[in-house]
Amino acid sequence: MKIQNTKNKKIILALMSAAFIFGATGSALAFSSDTLAYGHGGYGQGCRGDATCRAERQANQNMEKYNLPNRERGMQKQRTEQNTGQKYGQMRGQMGGGQHGNEEARTTEINKIKNSPLLPISEEDKDTLIYMREEEKLARDVYLILYEKWGANIFNNISKSEQRHMDMVKVLLDKYNLTDPITNDSIGVFTDENLQKLYNDLVAQGSDSLVDALRVGATIEDVDIYDLENAMSETENADIIEVYTKLRNGSENHMRAFHRELQANGVGYEAQYISSDRLEEILAGENKNKMAHDNKLNMTNRTNTQNGFANWFGGMQMQEQQSSSIFSRLFGWLKFWTW
């Protein structure tokens, strides 16, 4: 009887061992296939945020080291997807945070001007403010028409900035109790006859071609910078100087943007109102901004690389621990059946 029992136990052990080997072989083959798919599937086969898919992929990566090259490719794809998602999220977050921060900064600046004491203001200052209010409207209106004509986003984006410029000048008009020249805010309507004629001429020029439209944009910014700098040189009112400086800085950014678009279309722009040296100085500011942006981007990339390595190394440690746990259970099972 004892011999029979021993024989039965050996048969059961043999059957269970065979089942285990068969199951392990199937798992290894499935793992090889899965990791190969993850390694070569591309973004079209990505998890797209699905929790079950991510869990299955993580489970595959945490198995024993069968087919190490394929497994490494699978891990590399996961890291690539994570980095891409992080960069996109950071970009969107920075854009959203930057816009929110800019709005808060503008509100703070406006309130500061509104609440500060009245300063001496000359008749020439008053006339200039009234003129600047409509000149900024001219820029906004021309860009809106050219955007409707050509569909180039640069006109739509800068038209919004020109609206903010209009609002800033309106703050000064209200503070110093000056009459707003804009009685009709419709596109293309101006109180100043010279600005009305200039508007008509610029719209006509910009309607010939996209390149002509971009050249019109550069011309408007050229005029704005020229008028603003002349006005700043002739006033002692700190409120006016502060607002005009911000408007001038914005116009310089717009000039650089139009210049980039013109260069992309194989043409350039020659200064018509400001000097050629002043134009070169403005365009040189683009290189400084680009260098600052590139330095910030490089720092971000180095940080992402360090974080990626730390995450990968931590994942490897976790896999080693889980693999050790699997083999511990296996050896415990074999020990139980050995007597």
C-alpha span between 27 and 98 (Å, rounded): 50
Given a cut of 80, is residue 166 above it in pLDDT?
Answer: yes
Distances (CA, A) of 156 to 38, 141, 152, 273, 315: 43, 10, 7, 24, 47
Query: Which of 9-23, 34-48, 246-260 tops mean pLDDT?
Result: 246-260
Question: Of 206, 183, 205, 204, whose CA–CA distance to 137 is shortest?
Answer: 183
pLDDT at res. 42: 39
Per-residue model confidence (pLDDT) at position 58: 59
Domains of the chain: 2-84+298-336 (no CATH), 116-274 (1.20.1260.10)
3-state SS record for 196-211 = HHHHHHHHHHHCCCHH
Q: How confident is the model at residue 106 (pLDDT cuts 50, 70, 90)?
A: confident
Residue 276 has pLDDT above 90, yes or no: yes
The pTM of this model reads 0.59
pLDDT at 124 over 60: yes
Across the chain, mean pLDDT equals 76
Q: Cβ distance 161 to 117 under 8 Å?
A: no
| Sign of the dihedral defined by the CA atoms of residues 41, 45, 48, 54, in that order | negative
**Cα separation of 337 and 339, whole Å?**
6
71-91 tens-digit pLDDT: 454 455 455 445 545 554 555
For residue 155, which of 203, 200, 201 has the smallest C-alpha distance?
A: 203
**Cα gap 319→326, rounded to integer Å:** 10
What integer pLDDT is reported at residue 107 of this predicted model? 87
Residue located via tokens 């059957």: 15
Whether 93 has a pLDDT exceeding 90, the answer reads no
Residue owning tokens 């497994």: 71
Question: Is 9 a residue whose pLDDT tops 70?
Answer: no
Report the pLDDT value the prediction gives residue 203, as an integer from 0 to 100.
98
pLDDT of 313 reads 47
Convert the pLDDT of each residue in 142-163 to its tens digit: 999 999 999 999 999 999 999 9
Mean pLDDT, to the nearest integer, of 270-291? Answer: 85
Angle at CA of residue 107, ends 100 and 173, nearest 5°: 145
AA letter at 313 = F
Mean predicted confidence (pLDDT) in 280-306: 61
Tokens at 117, concatenated: 């004491």
Judge whether residue 176 has pLDDT over 90: yes
Sequence-ordered list of residues with C-beta below 8 angstroms from that of 59, at least 6 positions apart, any chain: none
Q: How many residues are recorded in the chain?
A: 339
Q: Give the Cα separation of 197 and 183 in Å (integer).
A: 18
Q: Which residues contact 221 (CB under 8 A, 6 or more apart)?
A: 139, 251, 252, 254, 255, 258
